[in-house]
Amino acid sequence: MKEYSTDHVEVHVCMGTAGVATGGMEVMEALNEEFAKHGLLNAESKERNCEAKQTGCRGLCARDVLIDVYAPNKGSVTYEHVTAEMVPTIVQEHLVDGNIVEKWAAKKDYFQFYDKQKRYVLHDCGKVDPESLEDYVRLGGYDAIKKAITMKPEEVIEEVKKSGLRGRGGGGFPTGLKWTFCRNSPTDDHKYLICNADEGDPGAFMDRSIIEGNPHAVIEGMLIAGYAIGCDEGYIYCRAEYPLAIERVIKAIKDAEDAGYLGKGVFGSDFNFKLKLKEGAGAFVCGEETALIASIEGERGMPRPRPPFPAVKGLWQKPSNVNNVETFANLPLILLEGSEWYAGIGTEKSKGTKIFAISGKVKSTGLVEVPMGITVRELIFDVGGGIPKKRKFKAVQLGGPSGGCLTPDHLETPIDYDSLIAAGAMMGSGGVVVMDETNCMVNVAQFFLTFTQRESCGKCIPCRIGTKTMLNILDRITTGGGREGDIELLQKVGEDIKTSSLCGLGQTAPNPVLTTIKYFRDEYEAHIYDKKCPSRECAELVEFVVINERCKKCGLCKKACPVDAIYWEKKEFAIIDQEKCVKCRECIVNCPFNAID
Amino acid sequence: MLNVKINGKEVQVAPGSTILDAAKEAGVSIPVLCHDSRLNPFGACRVCLVEQVGMPKLMAACTTPVTDKMEIITESEKLARVRKTAIELLLINHPLDCPVCYKGGECGLQDLTYEVGVTKVRFDASPNDTPVDHTNPFIERDIDRCVLCGRCVRICDEVVNIQAISFLNRGTDTMIGTSFEQPWNCEYCGQCISVCPVGSLNNRVYLFKNRPWNLESEKTICGLCSCGCTVSIDYECNEVFRMNEMPEEGVNHGYMCAKGRFGFDFMNSVKRETEAQITVGGEAKKATVAEAVEYAAEKLKGLKAEEVAVVVSPRITNEEAFLASKLAETIGTKNVFSTETDEIMPEGAYSEVEASDALAVLNINVTESNPILGLAVRVAAREENANCFVFYPSETALKRVATELITGNPDELAVKMEKFCAAMGGADNDFSAMAKTMLEAEKPVVVFDPYNKADAYIAQEIKKACDKVILVPAKSKNNSVGIVDMGFGKNNPADFAKGVEGGTIKAVLCFGENILVRSGWSKLEGALAKLDLLMVTDPFMSDTAKAANVYVPVATFAEKSGSFTNLEGRVQEVSKAVDKGVSADADVIAALGKALGAELPTDVYAVRKLIEKEVKLYSGIQWDGGKVAYPSVFKTEMEKASATAKGSGKFYLYPASLRLHSGSYTRWSPDLAKVYGTPKLELNDADANEMESAEGDTVKIKGDGFAGEFVVEINKQITKGCVSLPEDFASTADIFSLGRYLKAEISK
Amino acid sequence: MAENEVVETEEIEEIPDIEANFDPTACDEICEQYKDWKGATIPVLQKTQDAYGYLFPALVERIAENMNMSPHTIYGVITFYAQFYTKPRGKYIIRVCRGTACHVQGSGRISEIVGEEFQIKDGETCKDLLFTLEEVSCIGACGLAPVIMINNKTYGNLKPEDARKIFKDYATNLPEA
């Protein structure tokens, strides 16, 4: 991996989705304006020649807009929470006067976020301009495919096998082995390679960040896979909710085509590879291989029975290989650094790094890349910075709606494919949602099931009706109608749905319910038998009265109440008017002392 | 062959077989709900899940191909549990209205519930309650009972290729429906009804008329068109309640069309005659069959043999037609006629059409005229590597599967077909690429209309140019082929008209034919009235029967036994299901023969013995499905015939497709008549706009030698500048007697 | 009013102009552009929706005819995917993120507020065609949870009452979309 260096001053502005949302575009404009004002644009002196550059995600989205100032031979300085208004000061003091604006510069707590990370796949993310092929090439881009085509396809597959790379989309199937199936599958004309960029898990945005931050890495990965398997046509199936990613992929494909990296005779070899982008249209289930294929074919994204597997009969009944964005992005690394190097990272059965999207009740929400085998504790407390507001860590949901919840007892569990499955969760695509004591686990299970139920394609009975039925039971539990036997019923139906559903969506949909029952059964019981929500998140089960023993008479609840249902005078306990209260929970959320029940 | 163990029992199956196939082989039954062997694997219902020894995951028996040495367990505690759960889940929303449900007693869900032993549902029931949809004239739709097995959607897509319905929405909102929930509008083939396992898609003709356990069934051959479909006649107390498919059976693989499925009710019609009638001096008197026969025999005795003509309908059985020919022999006349001729005989079989890799459909709307042949064409045409070229004046339902659809007014189309024919013979023109595809194909097939001489000539020339082309002349009626084999195709139908008009024919014995609605014969009304004897047999008082002086009501195909020869030249057995108290044609013919001094057998087997002896093509024939081996398609070299439209006028007029009917017979069906009862003039929307006439308006049509008024039906598929009318209504048969393609003026 | 006169309570919905005076030119052009594509249904629908705003019956018929497909199959595809619309949409599309991070930070309440302000539920558009509510799965700005988007503008770290203020502001000032 080439370290990033510049021969002039570059100011990298995060222009990922979160960067743009927080005003990255305005910061860019302000920078250019200020550069012009100070005569820094195209200045002759290296030290004075300034360029504002858009880059992808650096990870710590919570602190966007992030900017990095790179000066030749000086490394970089990072500013966080930058707004357009701050730009004139930064330009004046840092770039003109040469003094770092300490009050805005990132401090230790920012760099702590990176301490335990190993940013290999994301190495160039946040450094290269995702819309510039030259930038990617300058950092060694497309060297891996150049190397690959000097090898025999079988040798490339062997290299990937030796690296131990497993599919990053969820299941963790060994990538090299998957390729072998498709490579050995006979065809009379085409074989297709599909990049699954239909990342739909709520709380996961790894793939989006990779594509937005470094689209050429994905294209290069696809070229390597295409060459190894013998595919001549590829598709990137990207979620339509990611307009920026789509825009960047389209540009990247075009640039690569223009440069002759895609198309006929890739890098002078006899390997031809055509690449197309297909936009999704809003269906989570299309992340499932066979549904994705149906969707590319222009049909309803309903999963198809397997076998035949896509490797035998996939897109348009031809052998096809589907891998996820992150898997492809790992490939250039493996080819360039070698399988041995790669296999040196991680655990015995899970090699390399994994990218996670950490969100929920942690201080540093964002995108992280950590070596396989890191513990849950390290991920949440060291990388994520722990739980805000001095609250207690309660659970972490791994693997999104297909995954499961882990508890404080699992903090030492190493994060790798097999340990997570043993603990009842799964790697999934990499969503990590952290929950504190104010989160009700029944509610969390209900949330995930609402999602999967809504996204069920409706084809098979267990998933279509089963998830809805489980949701109905959860609904009655969270609204005070829980019955004796509901827990056992949820478990039995959940198991049956898992064993009998057609595709991965149904086969994993009950997981959040089953794991929360396993680890937080007492919460379910409190809802059913005591008609109480211990975390006071299920509004129907909260009485909305102030507990005088805990109330510190601060009056924050009164301020928070949108309907003026709380009476409070200085030095008095607050009182909630039950007639006016609309059970919006604002008081509970804002009470620092957990004094409302 | 692969070795597979099912519940410990070893069986051998061919590669590609599913676990379900192997289980069948082993005599093990696996419950299924969404599976249909004629459709692509789907795997939605999950009730056919089975276990493979050594594999953690359950697999769907209906979709999973077997591998060698696979060991399958079909019954276990785990399997019982997941099957039961699936059914229980279905029963949450499925209304338990079994006692009043159409499907009660033959419902897949009812049977499965019983089979997996669901006695109590653990979940709160929340039955759907949506109004029942009656917008389709034949299909009642109760979406509440739908289990979303998708068989209807899949059969409409994969077999019928109309895609009149689709899955809509997703998740729990998934339902079967149409674009923007418009009324169902399709060919009304009812294939969807036939595959629906529950009472969601119901046959309105049968609805609430009986319960399945009261019905007895008789397997027979449908007598409505030349396709020769194996069907089941379901009856009670001599009343036919439905004509049903026999899943996977017959040349039709268990498919049917609107005519068969919804049109059978004419058999039970109150308009059917029960008594014979003798008309003397314009006065009709009821009579017994014996009296009628005697009266006719007396009349015949006073005439010379050659003054008598025998006419048979292509509706009657081979046995009856043979008897009729024996009757003619007895009388000593050579005047035997039908609307059919022996110029063109069958060649290709359905299996050859289905397997074809290049098809040309010449100027025939085959999905309407011969719906099951139409399905075979679709099966072949939708294959990825197959090509299908369709020539027709308007767009047809084959548009979806056709590689190319060649349309144009009849004159233009004739030119195009001639060019195609020339290209097949090596000429270089616009159709060379198409011809090349046909010539290079392994199994090319040409489907054509044998009643159209110009087309038949082209088919003949194509065959000459490329010997491997298999011809499929699509004859029209259920026994169009058989009556010719029995001797009723030797004479030119025009000679009959000449004989009657010219007075050389003085007596006509007409078995089942409705002479007055046949083009070429429709103007004989006056001449027929002058005959000494017109004896007509018909289940109904047809136009011709009304003109007869001796009328005998006879059985429909459900009321007699015998055989039909279908458009492939396949002989198939017809079995009597009900008795309506009327004679079969065979009985009438035999009685007449007897009165004239000949002993003719009426027993089907006795007649067949005679046929085998006397009809060379049928010697040693298998009566239950044997294919007749015709020496050639064309008896003699066809001559080039003109296809140019006759007369003058702005519009081209040509015969429309059959529009749910099969001749005049099915018009006695109250349900088919409801949808299409009177002839309509089909007009392109642009032409209609120019004329400022809307659907349902009456317009005048006028050409050289004809005029009439018809109700307009706007049809976007009709080529601009063309109009069409159905052929065999009394009011239209006259018109088409003048020619197949005519020019006409149309005005409001 | 006469006793047996029926009072028309249901408002007669006006057919939007784009539907009433349907001009198929753009649709035909798009279909032509994708003529030789395999499996072009979804991109064609996306492009036509971009051109016409939403997919109405006459448009779907036209697409079906152009593509030699059944309109019912196409409608099946339309109703499967969340991003196809068969009804006119509002000038302002309020997308409330219902991703996990936003959920645990209380985005459910924000959807409720949209409902309180404009009487619309997920997927609905208010009668004056100003606002459409869409609950979307993660829009990938989890760091800013809870997040909403109004058209292309993102609002993050929202308290429920902040959201209400933003909505009221749009309703009164009607900024350019």
Interface of A with C in 576-595 (CB under 8 A): 584-586, 589
Q: Token pair of B534, please?
A: 């017109």
Contact residues, A window 384-413, toward B, CB-based 8 Å cutoff: none
Average pLDDT over residues A548-575: 90
- Mean pLDDT check: name the lowest of A193-202, B336-345, C27-36: A193-202
Q: Which residues, 6 or more positions from A370, have their beta carbon under 8 angstroms from its beta carbon?
A: A116, A117, A118, A353, A354, A356, A378, A379, A383, A415
Given this model, what pLDDT does residue C1 score?
40
- Token pair in block for residue B694: 């809307």
The values of phi and psi at residue A585, to 5°, are 75, 5
Sheet holding B59-60, edge to edge: B9-13, B2-6, B70-73, B49-52, B59-60
Residue B179 has its nearest CB partner, among C60, C68, C80, at: C60
Q: Find residues 183-202 of chain B whose CB sits inside 8 Å of chain A.
A: none
Angle CA A137–A142–A148, to nearest 5? 160
Which of B386, B376, B378 lies closest to B443 in space, CA to CA?
B386
Q: How confident is the model at residue A531 (pLDDT cuts 50, 70, 90)?
A: very high
Contact B179 C75 (CB under 8 A): yes
DSSP E strand boundaries for B600-741: 651-655, 680-683, 698-703, 706-714, 722-725
Contact C115, C121 (CB under 8 A): yes
Residues C76 and B169: their CA atoms lie apart, in Å, by 7
Nearest Cα residue to B363 out of B306, B293, B423, B411: B411
Q: Cα-flanking dihedrals φ and ψ of residue B43, to 5°?
A: 70, 40
Nearest to C72 among B166, B169, B399 (CB): B166
Res. A528: pLDDT tops 90: yes
Q: What is the DSSP letter of B744?
A: E
Name the 3-class secondary structure at B328: helix
SS3 state at B282: coil
Cβ–Cβ < 8 Å for B32, B48: yes
pLDDT-derived band at C7, boundaries 50, 70, 90 = very low
Domain with CATH 3.40.228.10 in chain B: 350-473
Asked whether A405 and A520 are in contact (CB, 8 A), the reply is yes
**Domain at B2-75, CATH class:** alpha beta
Share of chain A above pLDDT 90, in %: 73
Q: What is the pTM of this model?
A: 0.92
Contacts of B147 in chain A (CB under 8 A): 461
Task: Indicate if the alpha-carbon torsion angle C120, C123, C126, C132 is positive or negative.
Answer: positive
Res. A462: pLDDT tops 70: yes
Report chain B (748 residues): mean pLDDT per 10 consecutive residues. 96 96 96 94 95 94 95 96 96 94 94 93 92 92 96 95 95 95 88 96 94 96 96 96 92 94 91 95 94 96 95 97 97 96 96 97 94 96 94 94 95 96 95 97 97 95 96 96 97 96 96 91 92 96 95 97 97 97 96 95 95 96 96 94 90 84 79 85 93 92 93 92 87 86 93
Cβ A7 vs Cβ A20: under 8 Å: no
The pLDDT value recorded for residue B548 is: 96
Comma-separated ranges of CATH 2.40.40.20 domains in chain B: 651-747
Q: Does position C10 have pLDDT exceeding 70, yes or no?
A: no
Is C72 close to B170, i.e. CB distance below 8 A? Answer: no
Please give the sequence-ordered ranges of beta strands (E in DSSP) within B205-348, or none if there are none. 216-221, 230-236, 239-245, 276-280, 283-287, 308-312, 336-337
**Closest to C68 measured CA to CA, from B399, B630, B405:** B399
User: Do residues B633 and B579 touch, judged by C-beta distance below 8 A?
Assistant: no
Confidence of residue C13 (pLDDT cuts 50, 70, 90): low
Task: In whole angstroms, give the CA distance from residue B185 to residue B188.
Answer: 8
When mean pLDDT is compared across A71-75, A546-550, B386-390, B434-438, the lowest value belongs to A71-75
The per-residue pLDDT for A169 is 84
**B267 with B558: CB under 8 angstroms?**
yes
- Chain C neighbours (≥3 Cβ pairs under 8 A) are A, B
B165 touches chain C (CB under 8 A): yes
* Mean pLDDT score, A64-88: 91
Q: What is the DSSP letter of A304?
A: -
| C104 interface with A at CB cutoff 8 Å | yes
- The pLDDT assigned to A562 comes to 80
From A279, A258, A262, select the one nearest A271 (Cα to Cα).
A262
Crossing angle for the helix pair A467-478 and A486-500, to the nearest 10 degrees? 160
Q: Is the pLDDT of residue C56 over 90?
A: yes
Q: Which two tokens stand for residue A366?
A: 């964002």
pLDDT of residue C8: 47
First to last CA, chain B: 70
Q: Is C130 on the interface with A (CB under 8 A)?
A: no
Q: What is the pLDDT of residues B692-748, one digit of tens each?
A: 989 999 999 999 999 999 999 999 889 999 999 988 787 888 898 888 899 999 998
CB-based contact, C143 to chain A, within 8 Å: yes
Q: Which of A288, A499, A503, A508 to mutate to test the interface with B (most CBs of B within 10 A)?
A: A499
User: C20 at the A interface (CB within 8 A)?
Assistant: no
Which pLDDT value is given to residue B474?
96
User: Which residue shows structure tokens 């599913």?
Assistant: B18
The residue of B178, B179, B400 whose CB has the most chain C CBs within 10 angstroms, and thus the best one to mutate to test that interface, is B179
Per-residue model confidence (pLDDT) at position C140: 67
Contacts of A294 (CB under 8 A, 6+ apart): A300, A301, A302, A303, A304
Q: What is the pLDDT of residues A430-453, one digit of tens each?
A: 889 899 988 999 999 999 999 999
**Which of 379-398 (B) contact A at CB < 8 A?**
384
Rounded Cα distance, B79 and B56, in Å: 13
| Per-residue pLDDT, B634 | 96
User: Across-strand partners of B646?
Assistant: B742
DSSP character for A97? S
Residues of A in Cβ contact (< 8 Å) with B86? 461-462, 496, 500
The Cα C35–Cα C27 span in angstroms is: 12
In the structure encoding, which two tokens stand for residue C170, read together? 């749009």
Supply the pLDDT for residue B207. 92
pLDDT at B287 (0 to 100): 96
Angle at B730 (CA atoms; ends B726, B736), nearest 5 degrees: 55
Residue that is written with structure tokens 């390729």 in the block: A179
Alpha-carbon distance C145 to nearest alpha carbon in chain A (angstroms): 8
Assign C2 a pLDDT band (cuts: 50, 70, 90): very low
Strands B230-236 and B216-221: antiparallel
CB contact under 8 A, A282 and C83: yes
Hey, are the CB atoms on C75 and B400 less than 8 Å from each other? no
User: Rounded to whole angstroms, how far apart are CA atoms A13 and A69?
Assistant: 9
Stretch C91-120: mean pLDDT, rounded? 87
Residue C12: per-residue pLDDT: 53
Best C54, C72, C87 residue to mutate vs chain B (most B CBs within 10 Å): C72
This complex has an ipTM of 0.90
DSSP state of B637: P
CA distance B113 to chain C (A): 30
A452: helix, coil or strand?
Answer: helix
For residue range A204-260, list pLDDT tens digits in order. Answer: 889 988 999 999 999 999 999 999 999 999 999 998 888 889 999 999 999 999 999
Q: What are phi and psi of B287, to 5 degrees?
A: -150, 165
Q: Which CATH code fits B350-473?
A: 3.40.228.10
CA distance B519 to B542: 16
Locate all alpha helices (DSSP H) within chain C, ordered by sequence: 17-20, 25-33, 41-52, 57-67, 71-80, 100-104, 107-118, 160-173
CA distance A399 to chain B (A): 21
In sequence order, what are the residues at sequence separation of 6 or more whose Cβ sits closer than 8 angstroms to the Cβ of residue C98?
A202, A451, C107, C108, C111, C135, C136, C137, C138
Which of the following CATH numbers is that of domain B276-342+480-627: 3.40.1160.10, 3.30.43.10, 3.40.50.740, 3.40.50.1950?
3.40.50.740
CATH code of the domain occupying B102-268: 3.30.70.20
* Cβ-defined contact of C76 to B170 (cutoff 8 Å): no
Whether residues B46 and A300 touch (CB distance < 8 A) is answered with: no
**Three-class DSSP labels, C83-121:** CCCCCCCCCEEEEEECCHHHHHCCHHHHHHHHHHHHCCC
**A489 with B78: Cβ contact below 8 A:** no
Take residue B107 and report the two structure tokens written for it.
């419902």
Whole-number Å distance between alpha carbons of C84 and C45: 8
**Where are the CATH 3.10.20.740 domain residues in chain B?**
2-75
Q: Can you give the pLDDT at residue A122?
A: 93
Q: What is the pLDDT of residues A134-190, one digit of tens each?
A: 999 999 999 999 999 999 999 999 999 999 999 998 788 999 999 999 999 999 889
* CATH code of the domain occupying B651-747: 2.40.40.20
Residue A1 pLDDT more than 80? no
Q: Where in chain B is the domain with CATH 3.40.50.740?
A: 276-342+480-627
**Residue that the structure tokens 């429920």 belong to:** C160
CB–CB contacts below 8 A, A to C: 142
Asked whether A588 and A596 are in contact (CB, 8 A), the reply is yes
